[in-house]
Chain A
């Protein structure tokens, strides 16, 4: 599903360039749960952004469902964002002016769903995430954990094939964190959503079926993908 071939990312610095990612070769299959770990500044977020097509690699090739991403038009890329990809952020990044309900609804709007479809889909998600009572509240009226739940609900709303989560529990206490991780696990298992998360916590990393370690832009260890099936 995801295949990186010798992908590098660098930024111009002075007369030269500083590499953030070097020669990353990586395959992620559908249904996997991958954790990316590494020290601060090692390029984890950058890698996630490249995978999520928010940033372009400087070198190398990226195939998403066998399509070369570099050659995709802006329109096609937006289409992928609408239908294949969901994002979860450490800082939740909810829209402050929108209620819980509307935040979850946002991706559906851009997907062009009809109003009744949207309604039933959001209702379903609220129900599933136990947020029905909170649907008319604004983000500022929620706890961090609740906000992240909304963030995840929003990410799954458009039924993506893959969710990219950048330190989704970074701002949360451990019990909240556990709740979120369980949720990811469940999404991965029950809905077959591919999940790629960045985390600093070994405990959280263990939720995945595979751990990638980054150091100074190099991919350090490489575990052979073992697809868990129950």
Chain B
């Protein structure tokens, strides 16, 4: 019987190619998005799997109670905890502390930033980061590097024994190289330094400080057979003991609890100081996006199967009089949908291979996950369940036909079932696609706006060159000599990004309100170079820095209008000459007021800003190039760079390019565009199928009307109007919802585009255009058909 079902299913699918094509493509698209989510879910469990003994390895979490009684969970713990655990509790086999940070390493005079973990010796055995060669780093000032960092630092040379320098820790010797780290790892780092490397007074203080719980992480390996309950019980005791002597400022206290390595990822709760493990929320979101896409495709299946019910009705009648019971017929129809869905899985896999190289897919979804048999079993199971669910509704409807009804007449009664259902499904499909499109377009427009908008400072014809330790004054002097270079200035921060350093600044030396202010270091050429305007006062005074670039910080500062407001200083003119305290000892005087400009991303409104002269902090020079730049100017700049810093490649970038790259997020938009396009194509294909089948059943009517003198135009309208109506309803539903969805995104930005006529109109225009073409394509052909053919055939 089952074999029979499958054979018939294949024949049916083969015979009705349009039907099968639409459904296979639709289901494959939906399944593909679900596969991405499933792979990511599988990958989330990979995070825990490569650690040895992960079933008895725990990370200790700190639950902090704030003064407002809010409980906040931290993934980190105070550093002395590990020692207590190991010393006082026999069931603890090993403890490993990890301190994560970022610093600049100097290798052969190259300065390279990288993430490091400072680790206890047990790190190398408790966690599963294996060494490829060399020894673990345990002695002071030793490190193990990842292969990527080794290559970045030393090229192809053998890294073991090489020495790297840091400002904070001095020289560090490389003792080993890791195997390539698993991509699916909750820790990402380039180097593991031995814990004793962190030997500054400050660092040593941290290691015995129970008050600071955000510095590092504590991992505990329990002895085999040790009781987890016991471990969990002692943690709060230790916390109680430790906090007794502490006077906290902004929190009431904390307690500890254990997090098993086996359940670390996906994370069930949001942890402060969290590591890289994905959260259930992220995975659930991905899965829902997949399921919605799949749902759209399932709608097609339901719709088209019901639209074809006419041709299936007779079969149902015959089978029933041959002795079939309802569940057998349902089984047959569902076998058909399952065959289709399993076939779609194959196509989905091909689709998956096609989109796999997309950066977004690699980075966020499936990077580093192996497709093993378990995963494949899940895929197949998933597609079978999809097929069963998709087939259920049509199977119920179709198997409900009564033989006496459908077998009575020769041509088959006009049995239409589920018309309202079918119409609602079409409306839902297009509404969902349209909402997604409006939201996506709002997002893309916002990002484009941020990438190209006027920030209030000059961004065209400005070439930013990272200094990378080249003395800025020398570079500036050299650059100024090149014909075509108009201005050169220096800054510590590129505006239009996260805004850089900020700190609290007071108007009085001590006491009084402090205000959080961004502080960017510039030189006196910056204002003119970047076309910033002074509203009052004067530019920073000319400071002659020595050629090493190490000048002392200036006493004068510029502030923006927002800072004037924030400090409640009143009239800009009166502000000039007043002083501010950057800290207890540094008093500065306000030289001038800069007109507000947008120096952060558009997520925030303009914030208070102080611009001062601090040559030590300079990280970029801004080179303004004359309007008709010749290639020779750029070549000249590169030559200057090369002469001053032969080791580093030239890394100059146009300011406008920087802003564009920083804000356009093309990868994300491309991927989401792909999703929206999928949703839209599924809806359009479904519509095509519906129009085709509906028009087929009306072909005789068309013939009669033509014989009676109807024009092609009138017939197209007759056949199309029902569907156009559905598109209009979908539009009416989706416009307000899409507007809300778009606003929900835009609300995160202090400066954002509006969702106006161009977005809404464009989207609905595309909907009606594509939908209309789909409808028109079929109805036009039907309207042109020769009435003689359609009338004779009956």
Q: Which residues of A contact B (CB under 8 A)?
A: 45, 49, 52, 54-55, 74-75, 78-79, 81-83, 85, 87, 89-91, 93-95, 97-98, 102, 106-107, 109-111, 154, 158, 171
- Smallest distance from the beta carbon of B754 to chain A beta carbons, Å? 56
B8 touches A109 (CB 8 A): no
B407 touches A93 (CB 8 A): yes
Given contacts A54-B407, A107-B323, 19 further A-B contacts (CB under 8 A): A49-B404, A49-B408, A54-B321, A54-B403, A55-B404, A74-B325, A75-B325, A78-B323, A82-B323, A83-B323, A87-B321, A89-B407, A90-B410, A93-B314, A98-B8, A98-B11, A106-B318, A154-B322, A158-B323
The CA of A209 and the CA of B381, in the complex, are separated in Å by 60
- Smallest distance from the beta carbon of A129 to chain B beta carbons, Å? 17
Chain B residues contacting A98 (CB-CB under 8 Å) are 8, 11
Chain B residues contacting A111 (CB-CB under 8 Å) are 323
Provide 23 A-B residue pairs closer than 8 Å at the C-beta atoms, listed in order of the A residue: A54-B321, A54-B402, A55-B404, A78-B324, A79-B323, A82-B322, A82-B323, A87-B321, A87-B407, A89-B407, A93-B318, A94-B318, A95-B319, A97-B11, A97-B315, A98-B11, A102-B4, A109-B1, A109-B4, A110-B319, A110-B323, A110-B324, A171-B410
B321 touches A81 (CB 8 A): yes
The CA of A102 and the CA of B540, in the complex, are separated in Å by 95
* B: number of interface residues (CB 8 Å): 24
- Least CB separation from B402: chain A residue: A54
Chain A residues contacting B325 (CB-CB under 8 Å) are 74-75, 78, 110
Interface residues of chain B: helix, strand, loop or mixed (majority)? helix
Chain B residues contacting A94 (CB-CB under 8 Å) are 318
B12 touches A97 (CB 8 A): yes
Q: How many contacting A-B pairs (Cβ < 8 A)?
A: 63
Does B480 count as interface, using CB distance less than 8 angstroms? no
Does B328 count as interface, using CB distance less than 8 angstroms? yes
B323 touches A81 (CB 8 A): yes
> Pick the contact of B318 from A95, A102, A109 — CB < 8 Å?
A95
Does B317 count as interface, using CB distance less than 8 angstroms? yes
**Which residue among B12, B15, B318, B410 has the maximum number of chain A CB atoms within 10 Å of its CB?**
B318
- Smallest distance from the beta carbon of A32 to chain B beta carbons, Å? 21
Q: Give residues of chain B (284-341) contacting chain A, Cβ–Cβ below 8 Å.
A: 314-315, 317-325, 328
Chain A residues contacting B407 (CB-CB under 8 Å) are 54, 87, 89, 93
The CA of A36 and the CA of B328, in the complex, are separated in Å by 33
A106 touches B410 (CB 8 A): no
- Smallest distance from the beta carbon of A54 to chain B beta carbons, Å? 4
Chain B residues contacting A171 (CB-CB under 8 Å) are 410
- Least CB separation from A154: chain B residue: B322
The CA of A82 and the CA of B323, in the complex, are separated in Å by 4
B15 touches A52 (CB 8 A): no
Closest 4 A-B residue pairs measured CB to CB?
A: A82-B323, A54-B404, A110-B323, A107-B322
- Smallest distance from the beta carbon of A206 to chain B beta carbons, Å? 25
Chain A residues contacting B8 (CB-CB under 8 Å) are 97-98
- Least CB separation from B324: chain A residue: A110
The CA of A98 and the CA of B8, in the complex, are separated in Å by 7
Chain B residues contacting A91 (CB-CB under 8 Å) are 410
Chain B residues contacting A82 (CB-CB under 8 Å) are 322-323
- Least CB separation from A49: chain B residue: B404
Chain B residues contacting A109 (CB-CB under 8 Å) are 1, 4
Chain B residues contacting A107 (CB-CB under 8 Å) are 322-323
- Smallest distance from the beta carbon of B1 to chain A beta carbons, Å? 6
Chain A residues contacting B12 (CB-CB under 8 Å) are 97
